[in-house]
Amino acid sequence: MKAGNMKKQDVKRKIIFSDFFRNNGILMGSVLIGLVGFWLIFLIILPQLSMLDYSFRFNLPPSEQGGPKDVYTLNNYRHLLYGSDTSGETYNTVDLMVFGRTILAAMMVTIFNIILCYPLAYLLGQSKGSGLIRLLVVLLIIPYWINEILRAFALRIIFGDSGLLNEVLMFLHLTDGPIDFIRQNVALYAGLGYAYILLMLFPMYNVIESLDRNQIEAARDMGASWLHIHRRIVIPHAKPGIASGATMVFMLTAGALAAPQVLGGPSSLWFTQLVYQWFNNSLNWQQGAAYAIVLLFATIVIVLTVMRIFKVNMGDIGK
């Protein structure tokens, strides 16, 4: 059975490649494959392998690098677990709590974006391209012409003690004084959700747009409620788009740096900020590489686990 399946997969790959070259031509097809290969190898794989190698090295001065002391070690990973305690009896609770809080916050931002974007994506996908919907799409895109750091500072002004949001709440007598949205991390989570909202919206929209409206009409004629229509028809069809958007939002949120630096409160240290401190403040690239590798592998494992739970594979996302 396995040999037969492998043969079928080989035949399928050959058909895909032949169709690709037939549609794009030998020259253009080769150029496209070469560019993608260059991007994958030189901009992703090799830098990550270099980072992985760094993470197993001692932080040595340049004169000792390549010498007898320059050997592989697990000390950089042990530091994340135990900190400066070489005995391994006391855990590095500070860094571990920052790591756990970062992963949990990235999950919450991703779930928030799914809940927020799904109704909007359904509206856009089933609107038959009206002028109002086109205007709405343009209004969603225009704010992203502004640099991410400037948007973060704008949000900090909005959520500040004397910002627009507090002024409106006090004007409406909904609060007696300004609310510290920065210290309570409301500004941070709102900023992260806003920063990557289009990466959740458009994958959903592209998939829902391809849904045959006749299926919805037929289900409605048979007496199905809106809840059943979305649970049985729309959401299963939109699952690849939801998975694609959730993957990008979760990975980018967990690896965000600008928004936590600008919008984060005193107690909202992000794990990427620890990585930044090891690289730039402590000049310990080996330790920073170990922290970065841990974050990378943790997010990949979480994404693959969630995809397996919801029965989504990479082929579905690539459609």
Question: Do 188 and 268 contact (CB within 8 A), yes or no?
Answer: yes
Helices (H), the chain: 2-24, 26-40, 46-55, 75-82, 93-125, 131-141, 148-159, 164-171, 186-195, 197-209, 213-221, 226-229, 235-254, 258-263, 271-276, 285-309, 314-317
Partners of 57 in the β-ladder? 72
Dist. CA 278–CA 134, nearest whole Å: 46
Domain annotation covers residue 253? yes
Dist. CA 22–CA 40, nearest whole Å: 24
Domain annotation covers residue 72? no
More confident residue, 48 or 10: 48
**Res 86 pLDDT > 80:** no
Domain annotation covers residue 271? yes
Q: Other C-beta atoms within 10 Å of 299: how many?
A: 20
Calculate Rg over the CA atoms of the chain. 24
Q: Write down the pLDDT at residue 131.
A: 72
Percent of the chain surpassing pLDDT 70? 91
In the chain, how many domains are there? 1
Q: Write down the pLDDT at residue 292.
A: 95
**Res 276 pLDDT > 90:** yes
Domain annotation covers residue 299? yes
Domain annotation covers residue 296? yes
Summarize pLDDT for 175-227 with one digit per residue, the tens.
888 888 888 888 999 999 998 999 999 899 888 888 888 888 888 888 888 88
CATH code of the domain containing 253: 1.10.3720.10
Summarize pLDDT for 113-161 with one digit per residue, the tens.
999 999 988 888 877 666 777 787 788 888 888 888 888 899 999 998 8
Dist. CA 306–CA 269, nearest whole Å: 26
Q: Once rounded to an integer, what is the mean pLDDT over residues 57-72?
A: 85
Domain annotation covers residue 160? yes
State the chain's mean pLDDT as an integer: 85
Q: Write down the pLDDT at residue 316.
A: 62
The amino acid occupying position 12 is K
Full domain range(s) for residue 123: 95-317
Q: Once rounded to an integer, what is the mean pLDDT over residues 89-105?
A: 91
Q: Write down the pLDDT at residue 177.
A: 83
Q: Write down the pLDDT at residue 110.
A: 95
Domain annotation covers residue 60? no
Domain annotation covers residue 6? no
Dist. CA 161–CA 138, nearest whole Å: 31
pTM for the predicted model, two decimal places: 0.86
